[in-house]
Structure 1
Amino acid sequence: MRKFLSFAALVLSSSALAATPPEGVEFKPRRGFFTETDIGVFFTLGGKNDYSNAQSYLQLGVGYDLTERISLGAHFGLGTSAANCFADYQEATGLCALSDNFTVAFGDLTAAYHVRLADRFTLTPKLAAGYTRLDPAPVEGEGDPGRAINALNAGVGIGIEYATMMDHFSVGADLLARYIIGPNIPTFAVFPRVKYTF
């Protein structure tokens, strides 16, 4: 029995030593289907007040890494423009003719390109385009002035991403600038990002 145990220990230890050690092996971040959650700040530029107050911003997304460098995604973002009038001020009251506080909801498709800076760090320039809903309308639209309006948006962004020691998780931060076409409203979102790759 003692000889058998010695032989088993020898075989098991040999197979363990034969495994490829992690040292010297090039690190490759996990790629494939992913989800992400982003919480940051949002503001608009332009209008009669030049810029809005910074407000909270929430974005949820899903996507897929087509290659080690290119990924596509779909994102839903929700922000608010506060105290920035995009209509005219009324002479009698001094108030904005339409709402100077409105919700901005984005439904966008995104494309990102991963530029490797180090083993776990990548720079991620990206493009975004999609659909926007402004509620209530900050500019003149069809029908009731208080109703929401819909428009298209297009934007560019830049971010960084770090593949953590936890295999599936990456963290990062993005700056995303989008232009709402029609109402002609530039928007900016700055947010940290948590990404889980399956």
Structure 2
Amino acid sequence: MNKPLLTAVLALLPTAALSATPPEGVPLEVRRGFFTEADIGAFFTLGGENVYSNAQTYVQLGVGVDVTERFTLGVHFGLGASAANCFAGYAPGTQLCGRTENFTVALADVTVGYRAPLATRFYLVPKLAAGLSRLDPAPTGTRDPSLSTTVPNAGLGLGVEYATPLEHFTVGADVLARYLIGPNIPTFAVFPRVKYTF
């Protein structure tokens, strides 16, 4: 091998070495930004003549944004039901509820969450929620019992969140307690979460 060719090959070796992926790999960064999520879990109410309702399916969809590395802001739409629990009281001398014992609860809330790191890519997430709830049919009140009613709600939640190695996906689980203001009904939703960050 002649000297000019050997010099050219040796000159290119550092460039090739720098362009290669480091042996230890590239650390994964948690993606933050706009996100959407879909959740399916269980929903029930507390209080009333029966103390608690039967657990029913809960479905929630949400969109939001990671405002900072720690804070999230979202809008969530949830749908659950209260089954076999009377909030209007029994008719005198009977076990018949004065209104419906079964009603749908549709929720539209603004949520704020704070991610507290517990381990690498794993977080504890306390949340605040506030918004409107539509009860159909209305379980309390003096209006036509076949009509629905819309009332405000406020709540607190606690969850865990894990940013998976799949760059866009985060999984977790939440417990969310909301209080329906007016009919004075506490509600609880328990659900796993699947979140996709764009």
Per the normalisation by structure 1, the TM-score is 0.89
Q: Which residue of 2 aligns with 1:17?
A: 20
Contact 1:141 1:149 in 2 (8 A): no
1:191 has 2:194 as partner: no
Contact 2:116 2:123 in 1 (8 A): yes
Unmatched tracts of structure 1, length 5 or more: none
Specify whether residues 141 and 30 from structure 1 end up closer, same or farther in structure 2 by C-alpha distance, changes over 3 A only: farther
Q: Which residue of 2 aligns with 1:166?
A: 166
Contact 2:100 2:145 in 1 (8 A): no
Question: For 1:125, what is the secondary structure of its paired residue?
Answer: strand
Contact 1:98 1:146 in 2 (8 A): no
* Percent identity over paired residues: 61
1:89 has 2:90 as partner: yes
Q: Measure, in 2, the Cα distance between the counterparts of 1:86 and 1:184.
A: 9
Cα deviation 1:117-163 (Å, max 9, x = unaligned): 11110000000000000000100143x12100110000000000001
Unmatched tracts of structure 2, length 5 or more: none
Q: CA deviation at 1:112?
A: 0.2
Aligned residue pairs total 193
Per the normalisation by structure 2, the TM-score is 0.89
Aligned pairs for 1:1-198 (under 5 A) are: 10=13, 13-17=16-20, 21-22=24-25, 25=27, 28-91=29-92, 93-142=94-143, 144-198=144-198
Q: Rg: which structure is higher?
A: 2
Letter paired with 1:16? S
Question: For 1:155, what is the secondary structure of its paired residue?
Answer: strand
Structural RMSD (CA):
2.4
Letter paired with 2:150? N
Letter paired with 2:118? L
Letter paired with 2:110? L
